[in-house]
Chain A
Amino acid sequence: MINEITLTDILFVSTALFFIGVYGFFTRRNMITMLMSIELILNSVNINFVAFNKYLFPQHLDGIFFTIFIITIAAAEAAVAIAIIINLYRSHRSIDVEDASELKY
């Protein structure tokens, strides 16, 4: 059965996931949701890496390594981002990105 699933199918999934993430990132004002959207984007990339590795270069493990690397970075990133969000909440009493627009002009 697995042989019936082609690379294209998996790429469809990852593309869908990527654009869902992008859509969420652009439309949501809640920072937590935006963070979640970023995770979706990252994971769509992970899927790509794994899929390409599996279908195109089965003898190598580079894609797998990259995926693990990304997961690690994503964890660290989530920690930093949440710290920022918490700080922002402390100062602005809100986690809406629209409310934090001091860095303009």
Chain B
Amino acid sequence: MNNYSYISLIPLLPIATFLLLGLFGRKYFSSLSGIIGTLSLSVSAFLSILTAYKYFFVDGKVNGVFQQIIPLKYTWLQFSPTISIDMGIVVDPLSVMMLVVITFVSLMVHVFSLGYMKGEERFATYYAFLSLFTFSMLGLVLSTNIFQMYMFWELVGVSSFLLIGYYFDKPSAVAAAKKAFIVTRFADLGFLIGILILAFHAETLDFQTLIARLTDPQSSQILSSVTSSLFGVSALTWGLTLVFMGGAGKSAMFPLHIWLPDAMEGPTPVSALIHAATMVVAGVYLVARLFPVYCFDVSALQVVTYVGAFSALLAAVIACTQTDIKRVLAYSTMSQIGYMMFSLGVSKYGGEEGLGYMASLFHLFTHAFFKSLLFLGAGSVIHMVHSNEMKDMGGLRKHMPITHITFLIACLAIAGIPPFAGFFSKEEILLAAFHSNKLVFFVALFTSGLTAFYMFRLYYSIFWKKAAHLHGEHHDEGTFTMKIPLVILGACALLVGFVPISQFITSDGIGLETHIDVIFSITPVALAIAGILLATSLYKNENDRPIKISLAFGKFYEAAHKKFYIDEVYLFIIQKIIFNLIGRPAAWIDKNIVDGLMNLLAFITAEFSEFFKGLQSGKVQSYALYFFAGIFGLAVLFIYLVK
């Protein structure tokens, strides 16, 4: 085995940057901090690509199977002789691919932000937070231990909180940041309990050992986890479902998706990084990492499938009605992650059956490029018109040609038009679904048509529709540093579909031969084209048909526009039930009953002493009276009672 321990530098460089910029950035090198952050990350990105080359093409494969290599591992916290948190690095196809995606997209975002965030007061802090996020995300994908992953999972959550709340003097940004953190935190509760269950039964936290033990039908661990059950569901299913709950929270799956649209309050490049390409796919990564165990448990995998499929559909419907361009993109992200999820769900372990697994990660890979491109393009647009609303846009294609072209490429990619990247990965997903679950397949097919429709609705609303009416002083397409990432990502969105991911990333490490089934692809492509044509007819020029159609849908449109009132339900639960029915009574009980009892005790004591105090009247004659009464009493006692 070759030495891979240098990989630890990939996450360590960003954390060093974070410490440097976080502690000294504002004071000493405020304007330089962007350059510092970008340079350190480009080293990381270079190392990642080097690793990918080395692993995939030089020495990762042994006898045709990609091996898992663990170059570094230290015990971090020993809970008990068998259970410990280890800090380590895992090198396998999955983590190497994620390394490349994360560092590459993060680098693009760093470069884009040089122009986008220029002149911000907390420029250094921004880069510090970006570095912190990149560090956490890299740590997450390199984890050898499920608890290590949980730690980085939490760190990712908090850096997302910090970045969403970057404009902290804006109450809506603060609220969105809080919402994102709390919702994902709630999901992480499931993750944590899931870990506890799995760790208890598998007697380890280490991924490798855990997977080995829980996939061996003979092992005592699997027996204990299958036989012990709660409410008729086995411990293994509980554990895996709860772990998936954590993944669903981070990946914005229904019903834990409510934070994602609000998270768009953050700076747009941040959305491109966190809420499009990296953090939100952590859930997919998590399920993929534990995939052999999931395969072992059909019911947990079913949950993954249906949650994924439903989220994909729901988000696509909502996306058709939104008017804030970033929110449209947010819902589209949710929808695409839904694809990745159900694709994992319909997959099986190994060989041709494992197509879904490969397709899911392939889609993760391609999606990272075109979705971050879409977000950066949106950022470029917002930078120009200073608004997120579609109604303030239109006819921008002449003013920002590069953004226009790259955005169009990305839209075609996400719509699944050949030969753009999205076509290939989506095709595999549909194929996998077709072979194992027809219901999911039709949902996915319908959703893919919807996707094409709403993406082109977005595209036409920004770049066509009406003549641009720009006002104000500076309206340019942004600096050089903003255009470069667009171009690079645009090229990627065009080309990454040809990367033979199936050779590298499969559930069992053995390469898979895939080929595009032309007959099969006709339907989805035709649907996508239909969606595009529909969008063209409705939105290319200004007309009143969209309104008529939305009126025709009536209540349904209204509900979709209001995101199916899921936010309101949550608000109701939190404010009315948790705050009013639990929080307030708890505080009241504490103040009045528990503390009241203590005060009552004090009061009784005080009253008691008050009574005795009253006897001490200061009146000589009453003292004398007691005195005589006492003598009398004693006299009676001794004369009559004591014999």
Report which A residues bind B (CB closer than 8 A): 22, 25-26, 29, 34, 97-98, 100-105
Contacts and interface: CB of A to CB of B under 8 A. Distances in A.
B619 A101 contact: yes
Interface string B607-620: 00000010011111
Given A25-B621, A105-B613, A105-B618, 13 more contacts: A22-B628, A25-B624, A26-B624, A29-B621, A34-B620, A34-B621, A98-B619, A100-B618, A101-B617, A102-B618, A103-B618, A104-B617, A104-B618
B624 A97 contact: no
A97 B628 contact: no
- For the complex of A and B, 8 pairs with smallest distance between CB atoms: A104-B618, A101-B618, A103-B618, A97-B620, A105-B613, A104-B617, A104-B616, A26-B621
Contacts of B619: 97-98, 101, 104
Interface of B: 613, 616-621, 624-625, 628
A1 B619 CA distance: 47
Contacts of B624: 25-26
Q: Is the interface of B mostly helix, strand, loop or mixed?
A: helix
A104 B620 CA distance: 10
A22 B628 CA distance: 9
Contacts of A103: 618
B606 to A, nearest CB: 14
A51 to B, nearest CB: 19
A22 B625 CA distance: 9
Given A22-B628, A26-B625, A105 B620 contact: no
A34 B619 CA distance: 13
Contacts of B618: 100-105
15 contacts: A22-B628, A25-B621, A26-B624, A26-B625, A34-B620, A34-B621, A97-B620, A100-B618, A101-B617, A101-B619, A102-B618, A104-B616, A104-B618, A105-B616, A105-B618
A26 B621 CA distance: 6
B24 to A, nearest CB: 66
A98 B617 CA distance: 10
A87 to B, nearest CB: 15
A105 B615 CA distance: 8
A34 to B, nearest CB: 8
A7 B617 CA distance: 41
Nearest to B622: A26
A97 B618 CA distance: 9
Contacts of A98: 619
Contacts of B616: 104-105
A76 B83 CA distance: 91
Contacts of B617: 101, 104
B623 to A, nearest CB: 10
Contacts of A26: 621, 624-625
Contacts of A25: 621, 624
A29 B617 CA distance: 15
A97 B613 contact: no
Nearest to B610: A105
A29 to B, nearest CB: 8
A29 B618 CA distance: 14
A97 B621 CA distance: 8
B216 to A, nearest CB: 82
A29 B625 CA distance: 14
Contacts of B613: 105
A22 B616 CA distance: 21
A105 B619 CA distance: 11
Contacts of A100: 618
A34 B617 CA distance: 18
A97 B617 CA distance: 12
A102 B617 CA distance: 9
A66 B16 CA distance: 103
Contacts of A102: 618
B287 to A, nearest CB: 76
A80 B621 CA distance: 19
B165 to A, nearest CB: 60
B628 to A, nearest CB: 7
